[in-house]
Amino acid sequence: MRVSLHTAELHYGSGLVLHTAASGSVPHLAELYLRLDDGYQIGIGEVRTNISYLNGLDPETVVADAISAARAIDWTREPIDLLNSMPGWAGRWSAPVRMLIDCALHDLAARRAAKPLVTWLGGSTTDGVAAATNQTLFWSSHETLLAQARAYVERGFRDLKVRVGVGDISEDLRRIAALRKRFGDTVKIAADANGQWSEAEALENMRRLAELGLAYVEQPVPPGDWGMIERCAAASPMPIMLDESIASMADVERVRTFEGQVLAHLKLVKLGGIAPVMSAARRLQDAGACFMIGQMNEGAAATAAALHVTCAAHPAFAELYGADGLANDPVTGVSYRDGSVGIPLGQGLGVTFDATSAHLIWEN
């Protein structure tokens, strides 16, 4: 098995600027790729490394961890054997690195089986892999927000999530009220505070936001205090979705106890890959809990992995906009149209990685 690691800095061609209350302004996406070549098939994994505002890990640490893992893994073993045994040997590496390995192994295993990943995971498909997705409106000027929203709606996206908590709640209310006035009930609107409010602020802000007909509010309070989350969920006039609070299977089990009061935002980069997210989805479905399959802003290979999981797990919500509008992605095959993200029917992830468009940092 030829194994290599590559990096790339990705930029959006539309002038989109990522800016949330947690991240601040983000100038580019720092992506890390794992390429597995057995001489017949190539498997690819991808993870974004400049997300320290989510996991506390700087990009250099994640890259060093990935190189350590690539050196230590016995790549002579079958991909399916490595996948099945990952819970026993991969725990010493960070969740982003586990995601990187897990996705590359899933891609290679599905390609060897000559199946799209969604069917390899137990799902079904006929003529392609596609799902409706929301779009996020990042912190920006009022005019930019309305123009971006109009562009998304014209492209068929009717599920909008507004980043709040950067400025004063009055400005958040003004922005969302303008969206509601412009689009009425033809769009679904949600808000994401990225854990920026205190309990008292969250309770008051959620009461005021609910008057604008929001579908849910995401992560209104910081992660860690489940008692505070329980009190907010009990008092909130609309559903609460947790994102930053869902970083382990133990967190997923806590959501099960809320009996539908709390929704969960599942991401591969937080739980460590496709297999743990599929397991978390099954646990939540068994408890009758609603959840979202989502992602960070990231490239096409990571987006494809989340899309296949979405099509296999059938969540109530999907957030798969991460690769929309990237101008220099070394991975091709993902497209956005009519409010959905899709990949042509093919083997594995269904995407192609051009290694010459990325920077080689390690190979065996």
Render pLDDT for 221-247 as a digit per residue (tens, 0 to 9).
999 999 999 999 999 999 999 999 999
Antiparallel, parallel or unpaired: β 188-192 and 262-267 = unpaired
Beta strands in the chain (DSSP E): 2-10, 18-20, 24-26, 29-37, 42-48, 128-132, 135-137, 159-163, 188-192, 217-218, 240-242, 262-267, 291-294, 317-318, 331-332, 335-337, 340-344, 352-353, 359-363
Task: Please state the rounded mean pLDDT for residues 152-166.
Answer: 97
Per-residue pLDDT at 14 exceeds 90? no
pLDDT at 292: 98
pLDDT at 127: 81
Average pLDDT along the chain: 97
Angle between helices 95-112 and 274-286 (to 10 degrees): 90
CA separation, residue 175 to residues 86, 147, 189, 206 (Å): 45, 12, 11, 15
**pTM of the model as a whole:** 0.97
Spatial strand order of the sheet with 188-192 comes to: 135-137, 159-163, 188-192, 217-218, 240-242, 262-267, 291-294, 317-318
For residue 285, the SS3 value is: helix
Task: Please state the rounded mean pLDDT for residues 155-169.
Answer: 96
pLDDT, tens digit (0-9, with 9 covering 90-100), for 167-181: 899 999 999 999 999
pLDDT, tens digit (0-9, with 9 covering 90-100), for 298-351: 999 999 999 999 999 999 999 999 999 999 999 999 999 999 999 999 999 999
Tokens 């390899």 — which residue? 120
Confirm if 215 and 190 have CB atoms less than 8 A apart: yes
Per-residue pLDDT at 186 exceeds 90? yes
